Amino acid sequence: MAPRISTYVAVFGALVAMTVLELLIFGQPLPRIVIDLSIIGLAGGKAVLIALFFQHLAYEPRSLSSLALLGLGGAVAFLVLSVYSIVGVLFA
Amino acid sequence: MEAHMLPPASSIKRWLLTTNHKDIGILYLVTAIYFLVVGGALSLLFRLQLADPSLNVLPPQAYNQAITIHGLVMVLFVVSPLAFALANYVVPLQIGARDLAFPRLNALSYWLYLFAGILVVVSFFQERTLDVGWTLYQPLAAGFTPYVGVNTGGLGLGLLTASVTVSTINFVVTIFRSRAPGVRLTALPMFTMTILLTVLMMLYAFPALLAGIIMLASDRVLGTVYFTSNQGGAILWDHIFWFFGHPEVYIVLFPALGVMADILVTFSRRPLFGRRYILAAMVIVATLSFLVWGHHMFLTGIHPDIRRAFTVTTIAISLPFDAIILSFIYTLSKSKIHLRTPMLFTLGSIAIFIIGGITGVFLGSIALDYVLRGTYFVVAHFHYTMAGGALVGLIAGVYYWYPKMTGRMFSEALGRIHFVLAMIGFNLLYFPMFLAWEMPRRVPVYAEYLAPLNQLATVGGFIFGGSFLVMFWNLLYSLRHGEPAGDNPWNAPTLEWLTRSPPPPHNFDGTPALVDGRFTFLAANGAGHHSHETHLSPWPFMLSLASMVVLLGLTTHIAISLGGLVLLAASILGFARERFVSHEPQLGERWPFERVDRMKLAWWTFLASEIVLFGVLLSAYIYVRSATPSWPAPGTLFDIWHGAVNTFILLTSSFTLVLAIAASRMGSRAGTLGFLGATMALGVAFLLNKYGEWTELFSHGVNFSTSIVSTSFFLTTGVHGAHVTAGLLALAYLISRALKGAYVREGHETLEYFGYYWHFVDIVWVFIFPLFYLI
């Protein structure tokens, strides 16, 4: 099963809007951490939209997403543990 | 010769062109044995050097090369390929399939493995090969070994990861989608189950190695500074390598555990005790294997919290192994054991593995590791587990399935002689190393008082090595002179024993099915045999040869690479255009992918590995950024508008691609071509923008070596750009086919599969843009 063309248009519109929002937030006089987290959050949101609607994962069995999510989990574990291993030491 | 008929086994053409899983298994077996001799010979050379500290058998530089190549060859070119030799031959038989899901990819993975190994061997003859230990620690490997042979060896390792990835995809799809009716996942024989867990671990571990090799090659050739800078350096490499390296040891071990389990069932004549708990334990180990890598880094000065966490996970991973071994022992305790050669090796392997496993628990303790790290205690530990647990276990498998592969029985007497010599030699070789725990590893000289232990080890090494000669003679001689084996000489219960020895090309006469716990055949007289399936293809061999030529030319003469590129392009086209027929079984078990066709599953399996590849690359960027006190503020070094424009370009290209697929579904040729063309144009625009950005940076003196900032930018966006380029080449092929009328109403799935890849490349950029330009 595939989404309707109107769904694709809506998703594309959302992706463009979220990118514009990233650029707008970037230039705001907000705390750096707020800007960074907002931008990363928007990036994550865009990735989810692409995966669900352009790659059609929203219409596929969970087993298929699980393959991808396991890889993502591994990458996140690597990121967290490797960065923590030095950050605490460098800035102790 | 028609492509659906196999030439005789005496024909070289058969072995060059075959895609049959049994042939591929034999090719893997022979090649793995060759590399076993190479790695073994190297070990005997340095064991001679170590027989006495005053000896000068190997000068120090030769010693370093010998131990490095011994380690790399044994881990990557012997034990795992040996496991996959057995897996290739046996897994389709055990699940009731006619072949692997993608026979040509199977042949491709073999030839890539062979040519990768050839690159490593060739590197010996290029002044100096890899000589920094199999772990390639930094900054030694990046900055202090300026020998072209090191590059060639490294490229061989890169080619091997391609082989592994292809093989992984094939086995995942096969085991999930090609099982006979009734063969549910929980009913899989233990060997096939362990192969499934092994390939899943490979799927998520090997991309980390590939990321590391890309970064290392970039440091060595392009002058990037990932591993030679203070912000990256040794610890970054350690994290990347061991994130791969620890799952790798279970990747090496699991197939042997599966072999042992099947053999225990056969020769104890009873079901495996606690089978479901063994399966659960293995799943726990496979998962935890990705969370223990830090125990290789206890002495690197990383945060104490992380060291404590890794100690906990390392001790924890030993617990499911206790369950597995206790289940094995309990299976034996109440049975009448038949001590045939495979069972002897299995029992020996279990005993040896217990010693290795216990010593691993010691090393998991930070306090003990402070004393034992980098000593021969570690060497003994991993040889007891890898050589004793894994290699000896797989030898048991070779003996076990030899009658099925050849139709002949080997000499039981010679098998027992091999066993006795192997056990004596093995323990004489490695046990003294536990006692020599004060001796540092990777050093050719040592204190005089350790000489007796080293001499014992050297003698043991020659006995252990010599025992393999008994095996080789036994198996070779029995090929012609062994007693006919019959279908099931062991009275084993698994499906592979219910067909002839050796099996026919299509494996079974009829469609096997598991009904009420017993195997039966749903159709007789070859009704399950598709005589028009293809079994021969030249393209796996050609593609792999071309890949090797391209890589070899990079370290010899660039003209060779250019010639190789032409051959590679022609081979890829030939592979894509070839009409290769292989059918998926119509009846079968497919859970949990019943609604996912095999190509879709294959593509998503591939993408899962790509997620780890880019995950590691992006994590490395975040890592070095965390380690750098002052990083240029966003917008000061990298032009945000280049990044923003490229973001809009790629997002739009994803949109035009889904519209192309929709047009294809609706039967609109103009729409399909138009939107595919738009996608191509946008992709080219992305690369042109990237090219403009890079040249602008170069003109301002910002290049690969300038700093860790520029290194991480150029490498990450460069790898991404390479993926875009590869995508555009594939898209060009699709457009050429669309121009001839393809993908109109039918065939849109092909565009969809391409779409998975292209959208993934878009997703990666969705993260690259904010990480490199806005934060």
Q: Determine the distance in angstroms separating the CA of A38 from the nearest CA of chain B, rounded to an integer.
A: 10
All residues of chain B having their beta carbon less than 8 Å from the beta carbon of residue A55 are 755-756, 759-760
Tell me, letter by letter, the H, E, C secondary structure of B392-412.
HHHHHHHHHHHHHHHCECCCH
Kindly state whether A63 is in contact with chain B, defined as any CB-CB distance less than 8 angstroms: yes
| Interface probe, candidates A37, A49, A78, A84, chain B, greatest B C-beta count within 10 A | A78
Confirm or reject contact between B605 and chain A (CB < 8 A). yes
Of B1 and A80, the structure prediction assigns the larger pLDDT to A80
Q: How far apart are CA A40 and CA A42, in angstroms?
A: 5
Comparing CB atoms, the residue among A47, A70, A90 nearest residue B608 is A70
Question: Tens digit of pLDDT for each residue in A15-68?
Answer: 999 999 999 999 899 999 999 999 999 999 999 999 999 999 999 999 999 999
Q: What is the pLDDT of residue B334?
A: 79
Q: What percent of chain B has pLDDT over 70?
A: 98
User: Do A68 and A34 fall into the same domain?
Assistant: no
The count of other CB atoms within 10 Å of the CB of residue B312 is 13
Going by pLDDT thresholds of 50, 70 and 90, the confidence category of residue B522 is: confident
Residues A24 and A10 occupy one common structural domain? yes
**In this complex, is the C-beta atom of B570 within 8 Å of any C-beta atom belonging to chain A?**
no
Residues A48 and A67 in one domain: no
Cross-chain Cβ contact B626/A54 below 8 Å: no
Q: Does any CB of chain A come closer than 8 Å to the CB of residue B662?
A: yes
Residues 6+ apart with CB under 8 A from B246: B289, B290, B292, B293, B295, B296
Residues A77, A34 within the same domain: no
Residue B613 is encoded by which pair of tokens? 């590849």
Residue A20's domain comprises: 1-60
CA distance A59 to chain B (A): 11
B766 to A36: CB separation less than 8 angstroms, yes or no: no
Assess whether pLDDT exceeds 80 at residue B3. no
Q: Tens digits of per-residue pLDDT, B430-439?
A: 999 999 999 9
* Shared-domain flag, residues A40 and A30: yes
CB contact under 8 A, A88 and B611: no
Based on the fold, state whether residues A47 and A89 are members of the same structural domain. no
Rounded to a whole number of angstroms, the CA Rg of chain B reads 27
DSSP conformational letter for B296 = G
- B752 contacts in A (CB within 8 Å)? 56
AA identity, residue B79: V
Kindly report the average pLDDT of chain B as a whole number.
94
Contact A19 B616 (CB under 8 A): no
CA–CA distance, B74 with B76 (Å, rounded to integer): 6
Put simply, the answer to whether B774 touches A64 (Cβ < 8 Å) is no
Q: What percent of chain B has pLDDT over 90?
A: 87
Residue B531, pLDDT score? 58
Contact B208 A77 (CB under 8 A): no
Is A77 at the interface with chain B, CB within 8 A?
Answer: yes
CA angle, residues B79, B80, B83, in degrees to nearest 5: 90
Task: Give the closest of B303, B615, B775 to A84, CB-based.
Answer: B303
- Closest Cα in chain B, distance from residue A2 (Å): 9
Which of A39, A67, A82 faces B608 most closely, judged by CB atoms? A67
Q: Which pLDDT score is estimated for B9?
A: 87
What is the C-alpha separation between B402 and B17, in angstroms, rounded? 23
The amino acid present at B399, given as its one-letter code, is: Y
Residue B243 sits at the chain A interface (C-beta within 8 Å): yes
d(CA B588, CA B220): 50
Residue B4 confidence (pLDDT): 60
pLDDT tens track for B489-521: 999 999 999 999 999 998 998 889 999 888 988
Residue B526: per-residue pLDDT: 44
Residue A17 CB coordination number (10 Å): 12
Taking the Cβ of residue A15 and every Cβ of chain B, the question of whether any pair is shorter than 8 Å is answered with yes
Tell me which residue in A39, A60, A72 faces B596 most closely, judged by beta carbons: A60
pLDDT for B579-631, tens place per residue? 888 878 877 899 999 999 999 999 999 999 999 999 999 999 999 999 998 89
Q: Are residues A43 and A87 in the same domain?
A: no
- Is B626 within 8 Å of A42 when comparing Cβ atoms? no
Work out the minimum CA distance from A70 to partner chain B, whole angstroms. Answer: 8
Facing residue for A86 by CB, picked from B600, B627, B665:
B627
Q: How far is B84 from chain A (nearest CA, A)?
A: 22
| Confidence label for A89 from pLDDT (cuts 50, 70 and 90) | low
In terms of CA atoms, which chain B residue is nearest residue A37?
A: B775
CA torsion sign, A75 to A81 to A84 to A86?
negative
Residues B604, A64: C-beta atoms closer than 8 Å:
yes
B-chain residues near A36 (CB < 8 A)? 775
Would you call B612 and A61 a contact, using CB atoms and an 8 Å cutoff?
no
Co-location of A18 and A2 in the same domain: yes
Say yes or no for a CB contact (<8 Å) between B622 and A77. Answer: no
More confident residue, B2 or B20: B20
**Is A71 part of the contact surface with chain B (CB cutoff 8 Å)?**
yes
* A74 shares a domain with A43: no
B659 touches A at CB < 8 Å: yes
* Cβ <8 Å between B662 and A5: yes
Contacts A77 to B, Cβ<8 Å: 290-291
What was the pLDDT predicted at B530? Answer: 54
Q: Which amino acid is at B333?
A: S
pLDDT of residue A1: 67
Tell me, yes or no, if the pTM score tops 0.80.
Answer: yes
pLDDT digits (tens, 9 = 90+) for B448-489: 999 999 999 999 999 999 999 999 999 999 999 999 999 999
The CA dihedral of B546, B548, B553, B558, to the nearest 10 degrees, is: 30
Whether A86 and chain B come into contact, CB under 8 Å, resolves to yes
Same domain for A77 and A54, yes or no, is no
Q: What's the gap in Å between the CA of B726 and the closest CA on chain A?
A: 19
Tokens at B273, concatenated: 């005790």
Partner-chain residue, chosen from A46, A70, A78, that has the shortest CB–CB distance to B766: A46
* Whether B619 and A42 lie within 8 Å, measured CB to CB: no
Question: What type of residue is A49?
Answer: L
Chain B positions touching A19 (Cβ under 8 A) are 644, 647-648, 651
Distance CA B230, CA B302 (A): 14
User: Is residue B559's pLDDT more than 50?
Assistant: yes
Q: Would you say residue B525 has pLDDT above 70?
A: no
* Contact between A39 and B760 using a beta-carbon 8 Å cutoff: no
Read off the pLDDT of each residue in B118-131 and give the average, rounded to a whole number: 91
B228: enclosing H helix or E strand? none
Instruction: Identify all chain A residues contacting B306, using CB atoms and an 8 Å cutoff.
Output: 81, 84-85, 88
Of B107, B96, B116, the C-alpha closest to B26 is B107
> What is the mean pLDDT of the segment spanning B331-350?
94
Question: Residues 391 to 420 of B: which have CB under 8 A from any A CB?
Answer: none
Residue B1 has pLDDT above 90, yes or no: no
User: Which chain B positions have a beta carbon within 8 Å of A23's beta carbon?
Assistant: 640, 644, 774
Question: What does the pLDDT read at residue B524?
Answer: 53
**DSSP states of B84-130:** HHHHHHHHHHHHT-SS-S-HHHHHHHHHHHHHHHHHHHHHTTSS---
Tell me the average pLDDT across B294-307.
93
Answer yes or no: is pLDDT of B638 > 70. yes
Question: Cβ-count burial of A10 within 10 angstroms (0-12 exposed, 13-18 middle, 19+ buried)?
Answer: middle
pLDDT of residue B310: 95
| B295 contacts chain A (CB < 8 A) | no
Q: How confident is the model over B132-160, as a mean pLDDT?
A: 92
Average pLDDT over residues B41-58: 92
Q: How far apart are the first and last CA of chain B?
A: 62
- Tally of CA atoms within 13 A in the half-sphere of A34 that contains its CB: 6
Residues A91 and A50 placed together within one structural domain of the fold: no
CB contact under 8 A, B651 and A68: no
Q: Which residue has the higher pLDDT, B56 or B44?
A: B44
Token pair for residue B95? 């699940």
Question: B235: closest CA among B300, B309, B156?
Answer: B300
Q: Is A20 on the interface with B (CB under 8 A)?
A: no
Q: Are B643 and B708 spatial neighbours (Cβ–Cβ below 8 Å)?
A: no
Q: Pick the residue with more confidence: B362 or B528?
A: B362
Burial class (CB in 10 A: 0-12, 13-18, 19+), B47: buried
Instruction: Give how many domains chain A has, as a whole number.
Output: 2
Task: Say how far apart CA B315 and CA B323 lie, in whole Å.
Answer: 14
Radius of gyration from C-alpha coordinates of chain A: 17
Q: Say whether both A17 and A55 belong to one domain.
A: yes
Q: Is B375 helix (H, G, I), strand (E, B) or coil?
A: strand
Q: What is the mean pLDDT of residues B727-736?
A: 96
Tell me which of A15, A24, A82 to substitute to probe the interface with B (most B C-beta atoms closer than 10 Å): A82
pLDDT band at B137 (very low <50, low <70, confident <90, very high): very high
Task: Pick A72's closest partner by Cβ from B243, B611, B652.
Answer: B611
User: B243 and A78 in contact by Cβ < 8 A?
Assistant: yes
CB contact under 8 A, B303 and A16: no
Whether B615 and A72 lie within 8 Å, measured CB to CB: yes
First to last CA, chain A: 53
- Whether residue B528 has pLDDT greater than 50: no
Of A8, A76, A89, the CB nearest to B658: A8
